[in-house]
Amino acid sequence: MPMKLRRHPLLIALLSATTGVLGCLLIGNLLPEPHELKQPIPHHLASSDRQLRTSMGALFGSNFIPGNRIETLANGNQIFPAMLRAIRGARQTISFETYIYWRGAIAEEFADALSAKAREGLSVKVLLDWIGSLPMDEQLIERMQASGVEVVRFRPVTWYTIDRVNNRTHRKLLIVDGRVGFTGGVGIADEWIGDARTPNEWRDNHYRVEGPAAAEFQSAFAEHWIEATGELLLGDRFFPEIAPAGDHAAQVVVSSTHQRNVMHLMLMTAIAAAQKSIRIATPYFVPDELTRQQLLEARKRGVDIRIIVPGPRTDARIVRKASRHLWGDLLQAGVRISEYQPTFFHCKLVIIDDIWTSVGSTNIDDRALRLNDEANINLFDQQFAGAQTALFDKDAAVSKPYTFADWQSRTASEKISDWVSSLARLQI
């Protein structure tokens, strides 16, 4: 220790205390969230049992809200025009929350559309995750703010927020006039433009919701908006009375800091209810031990399980490797895992027995299920499930099956690197 510091014991004590506090905060952020479940959920309620719907409506998020029209949008060619039409048709309010808003042509187009509505006098509120939007061109933010758009960064990292640095908003929510909402996997970046025809056009789904369930999206946005700004959203501009718009009954489930396990519990409950089939599509499949056990229990019941994940075209090689390390028991038990080949696969979809479907922003990993704030829509609807299954099957047709023999025949270096990558699975 330098001689000058030895002469100042109070300064030494202060530095030591500061170092200790920062170390504790860092460790606290890196430690996994506690499990609420200690073992897999038994197969007490089947997917066909009416009580399952009642129980899930009581336990997770909203009840199942009738009177909605839900439209599936596949890839940027459908998704971005629908979102921009809604923005340009807004009459009173636009609430927009996203994890990814980067730079490029589509980022410019959204900024222009939002700015135009703000200049018309509408309330336009944009909430961007601080970390997810770091690559964004700051000139876009300045342009929107100059037009009257309220642009706010969610949970910026400062010395007094370091304890929440790991808790990001991963929600993708757009709500127009409180009546129409969008959610799914898409971020605002050129990577999503197109129709998944080339490696540069990512594959993804998004969903347009018109009807009473849109109020639940607005409520989720309002929860984060008041945290970020201190402003409470009230009144019929944000929460109008909404007439039925369709025949879909939808449950909106959101996870929030200190209440994150709701997504994990919901997923375990759905898997435990499976009788015939489970379909999972996710860009980040790093299942924890309980999720793997729940899937293995379903296999023991004879449930057909198929999972689509990204192939070699991915934005996170470490996730792919960490994921692969965990596949052995699943593959050996007959779980069928396939790797999507044409481009990066970013869809987030779970279908149980062609009855129950969950779509939204949630991945199947610890970050999504215990760290991030997420938003999903659940439906007990055979027609909707059938449409999602058709999309799943279309994606599976251009995916390469990965077998237990493939997993066993990895080279020694692949096995080691997969294992090393898996050590970071609680944070990636």
Q: What residues are annotated to the active site? A: 170, 172, 177, 346, 348, 353
Decide if 282 contacts 347 (C-beta within 8 A): yes
- Report which DSSP code applies to 163: G
* DSSP-assigned letters across all residues of 279-290: EEE-S-B---HH
Report the relative pairing of strands 93-98 and 123-129 from DSSP bridges.
Answer: parallel
CB neighbour class for 17 (10 Å; exposed up to 12, middle 13-18, buried from 19): exposed
And the tokens for 299?
Answer: 């296999």
Nearest to 284 by CA among 354, 364, 347: 364
Nearest to 344 by CA among 366, 312, 381, 299: 312
Kindly report the number of other CB atoms within 10 A of residue 30's CB atom. Answer: 11
Beta strands in 88-122 (DSSP E): 93-98
And the tokens for 353?
Answer: 């027995």
Nearest to 61 by CA among 300, 324, 256: 256
Beta strands in 185-312 (DSSP E): 205-210, 248-254, 277-281, 304-310
Decide if 117 contacts 88 (C-beta within 8 A): yes
Taking the alpha carbons at both ends of the chain, their separation in whole angstroms is 37
73-101: b or e for each residue (b if 16 or more CB lie within 10 Å)?
bbbbebbbebbbebbeebebbbbbbbbbb
* 3-state secondary structure (DSSP) of residue 12: helix
Nearest to 326 by CA among 399, 396, 395, 428: 428
**Rounded to an integer, what distance in angstroms lies between the CA atom of residue 328 and that of residue 324?**
8
Report which residue type is found at 136: M
